[in-house]
Amino acid sequence: MSTARPSPASFRILICDELAPQAMEVFKSKGFEPEVAIGLKEDELVARVKDVHALVVRSATKVTRRVIEAAPALRVVGRAGVGVDNVDCDAASARGVVVMNTPTGNTTTTAELALALMFALARHVTKADRETKKGGWGKKGMMGTEITGKTLGVIGLGRIGRVVADRALGLKMKVLAHDPYLNSGAAPMAGIELADLDTLLAKSDFVTLHVPMLDGTKNLLSKERIATMKKGARLINCARGGLVDEAAVLQAIEEKRLAGAAFDVLAEEPPAKDHPLLGKDDVIVTPHLGASSNEAQLAVAVDVAHQIADFLLDGVANNAVNVPAVGAQDLREVGPYVVLSEKLGAFLAQVATAPITKLELTVSGELAKKDFRHVPLALLSSVLRQNHDHGVNFVNAPLLAKERGLQLFERKEAAHALYQSCLSVRATSTDGTAHLVEGTLFGQSPRITRFDELELDLDPKGPVLITRHADVPGVVGLLGTELGKHKVNIRRVELAPSGAGLATGILALYDEPSAAVLAALKTLQPVRDARLIRL
């Protein structure tokens, strides 16, 4: 891992959507000079991204597979906002491109919009406004309901859902919440009650959605579920289009089973002019205003600029949706172990006699108390990189491992018998063979301390010769003599019996021997095998 900080001038950043001007100020303060190209269509963007390292978008620009594949230098896509529906995250992950969003900047603004729509539904605000502007002054059909004392059902208790729940409690509402990702038991917020989805729908006077669009949440409120909602309830969706069966909502309103609905998001945006929801008085439709406040737009613009800069300069992927983010301080502490993990993976991949199918990583000692999520990713990346013809990095390594049937298991141990911190990896191959390798740091330098039964002190750099030979006197002399003939100098030698009258030799070399030299070593009478690995 290089400690040299790259120059900001070496990176091209392309801003594709309107951002608050403070974002440009952040970039320039850190030495970057982004390019701005607003409103590019896919073909135009494909033609523009060849040498671009970072794309900055909001919701308008679509970062498709074609765009990603046309950008071999692309390292990161930054979305100024929460949802990344406009970015092909699968394509990005396959190419090792980090996708990051800015999840906190929109939180309060979106929560407040949901509450505003709830009030508007409760008191027929939009309907009354339309009728008054047409010249009417009647109150027929305008009988509303108070918020106080009513039950609000919050589906999704993430950042935005929690703000909505907190504000609703302040309005003296009863709050039910459902979130499939929360463990059963006590609610994470005082004053709310957790419930399963069916119970929430049956008991809530108002229902608001705050979940992402995933395979498991698509059409979450289906026709069948909408039919179970409390009679006279009102529905608010400020999350994602496609979470709700819009036709079923319309039918429920027409049949007077629901009193109203408000949509800031729709399955198709913008909607067709004849979309049936647009003509209903008891339905409010707003044009995806969730993040549309001055405060939110400033926050997400500044956030995305800082995140892109931090990633390009320091490799810290804050708020990445397809790779774990590790703080700068943790990265400094764990970074040398990331290098060590890469070395252990490269060692194992080269000594294996068949493709590796299982890796068992044990993290011991002080390192186990830290955020070491980059360590297993480094191990996977290194193993895959040895035999993969595509670029492998922390982003695409899990996907590539899954495709190749490579499993990684992790465990932690509070202490190690010999070292303050230690990494131990057992690799099992398709032919049933297994190898164990361990390593630690001497100062800040990685060392391999064990290979199978052989205790080592190996500085993992440069060429290393591994031999299996008869456990008899004079073998090291023969190896040294043969290498000496070809001007190959030995840095260090480690030897240990390996059973059945054989021994293992680890010879760290200054120079890499040619294929002919390696072949000559294998002809030596005591030598059963000689393998060169590169670290």
Strand 35-36: give its sheet, edge to edge. Answer: 35-36, 13-15, 54-57, 76-79, 98-100
Distance CA 167, CA 162 (A): 9
Angle at 229 between CA 226 and CA 232, to 5 degrees: 115
Single out the residue of 450, 445, 454 nearest to residue 425, CA to CA: 450
Q: Which of 44, 269, 453, 455 is labelled catalytic?
A: 269
Q: Which of 95, 162, 240, 469 is labelled catalytic?
A: 240
Single out the residue of 71, 82, 89, 94 nearest to residue 14, CA to CA: 71
CA distances 184 to 180, 192, 199, 285, Å, are 9, 14, 15, 35
Q: Which of 288, 426, 450, 491 is labelled catalytic?
A: 288
The verdict on whether 5 is a catalytic residue reads no
Distance CA 281, CA 449 (A): 74
The secondary structure element, H or E, covering residue 61 is none
The verdict on whether 66 is a catalytic residue reads no
Angle at 12 between CA 6 and CA 17, to 5 degrees: 135
SS3 170: helix
The verdict on whether 455 is a catalytic residue reads no
SS3 493: strand
Give the burial string for 322-348 (b: 16+ CB within 10 Å, else e): bbebbeeebbebbbbbbbbbbbbbbbb
- List Cβ<8 Å contacts ≥24 apart for 247-252: 247/223, 247/276, 248/221, 248/222, 248/223, 249/221, 249/277, 249/283, 250/276, 250/277, 250/280, 250/283, 251/223, 252/226, 252/227
Residue positions annotated with a catalytic role: 240, 269, 288
